[in-house]
Amino acid sequence: MDVLFRNVKELVERAETENKLISEIMIEQEMLITQRSREEIMVQMERNLTVMEEAVEKGLKGVHSVSGLTGGDAVLLQAYIEKGNSLSGTLMLDAVSKAVATNEVNAAMGTICATPTAGSAGVVPGTLFAVKNQLNPTREQMIRYLFTSGAFGFVVANNASISGAAGGCQAEVGSAAAMAAAAIVEMAGGSPQQSSEAFAITMKNMLGLVCDPVAGLVEVPCVKRNAMGASNAVVAADMALAGVTSRIPCDEVIGAMFEIGQSMPSALKETAKGGLAATPTGKWLEAKIFGGAVVGSGK
């Protein structure tokens, strides 16, 4: 299969030599591989964008999962932002609350767009709809944000993994956060190389993150990991835009993520057998939700 890029180095080189945005290279590659028109591809991505908007909107109104483990935090965060005393700033908390909103909808079996997975679906839209308020992008630029995210995700999925069962949470929320960081940089006017630096800086700080969902549900700690993934992405984008670079090249960071995922024990890869899932409270919650012997009283 002929592709325009197989790794981040090729992606950035092509964007810079052809003087194009990373999102443009992704669109061109999609046209090449699927033999579909630019318009068709843009329309499909806009549909995904609309699903993301609706999910955030729904989550900000307040949803709760069947298990009762998650829900309502996006509402709390928005109310807190309104008061105007937040320490981490409006944009940051807005990104966090919208990431949480999306994942609360996901946990409640609502409709979302996997980016790159459902468990990590909050980070890319959360950051997009927060950064939007400051950068005032056009609708096309918002769609491009998703293509830029997708370009980096494409490299990770093919060269490492985007599956928690295969690589832990670093492969899911880690990838999502790094993808979002790269996309923020492009939307803010940074160079393709700066997008790659933002990606590398984010991913480096997500390495080793395990997948240990309580009761096997995509709720605890997934929703809050999306919150932190979003904040990580915004900070890394700012660092890259400031001119900070990663000493370890982007593709090598992705390689390290893959290696770490391979050596991670299966108890920490979406089996709900280790980490937070295996804590006394984690086990108590599992017994409470699915029945069986409830030992102790939890918290």
- 292 three-state secondary structure: coil
Distance from C-alpha of 190 to C-alpha of 21, rounded to nearest angstrom: 10
Binding site for other proteins (CB under 8 A): 1, 3, 6, 26, 29-30, 33-35, 41, 44-45, 47-48, 51, 105-119, 121, 124, 146-147, 149-151, 153-154, 157-158, 161-166, 171, 179, 213, 215-219, 266, 269-273, 289-290
Q: Is 121 or 236 the residue whose CB approaches other proteins more closely?
A: 121
Rounded to 5°, the CA angle 282-233-96 comes to 55
**CB 108 to other proteins: min, Å:** 7
Q: Is 121 or 253 the residue whose CB approaches other proteins more closely?
A: 121
**CB 247 to other proteins: min, Å:** 27
Q: Is 165 or 235 the residue whose CB approaches other proteins more closely?
A: 165
**CB 280 to other proteins: min, Å:** 18
Q: Is 93 or 286 the residue whose CB approaches other proteins more closely?
A: 286
Q: Is 222 or 239 the residue whose CB approaches other proteins more closely?
A: 222
Contact between residue 121 and residue 112 where contact means Cβ atoms under 8 Å apart: yes
**CB 151 to other proteins: min, Å:** 7
Q: Is 3 or 76 the residue whose CB approaches other proteins more closely?
A: 3
**CB 27 to other proteins: min, Å:** 8
**CB 33 to other proteins: min, Å:** 6
Considering only CA atoms, give the Rg of the chain: 19
Distance from C-alpha of 243 to C-alpha of 162, rounded to nearest angstrom: 28
Give the total residue count for the chain: 299
Instruction: Return the closest-CA partner of residue 21 out of 186, 221, 242.
Output: 186
**CB 148 to other proteins: min, Å:** 10
**CB 41 to other proteins: min, Å:** 8
Q: Please spell the DSSP secondary structure of 26-91, one letter per residue.
A: HHHHHHHHH---HHHHHHHHHHHHHHHHHHHHHHHH--B-TTSSSBSHHHHHHHHHHHT--SS-HH
Structure tokens at 117: 């997975």
Can you list the positions of beta strands (E) in 124-278? Answer: none
| Cis status of the peptide bond prior to 116, with omega within 30 of 0 | yes
Q: What are phi and psi of 209, to 5 degrees?
A: -65, 125
Q: Is 84 or 291 the residue whose CB approaches other proteins more closely?
A: 291
Q: Is 62 or 216 the residue whose CB approaches other proteins more closely?
A: 216
- 211 three-state secondary structure: strand
- 92 three-state secondary structure: helix
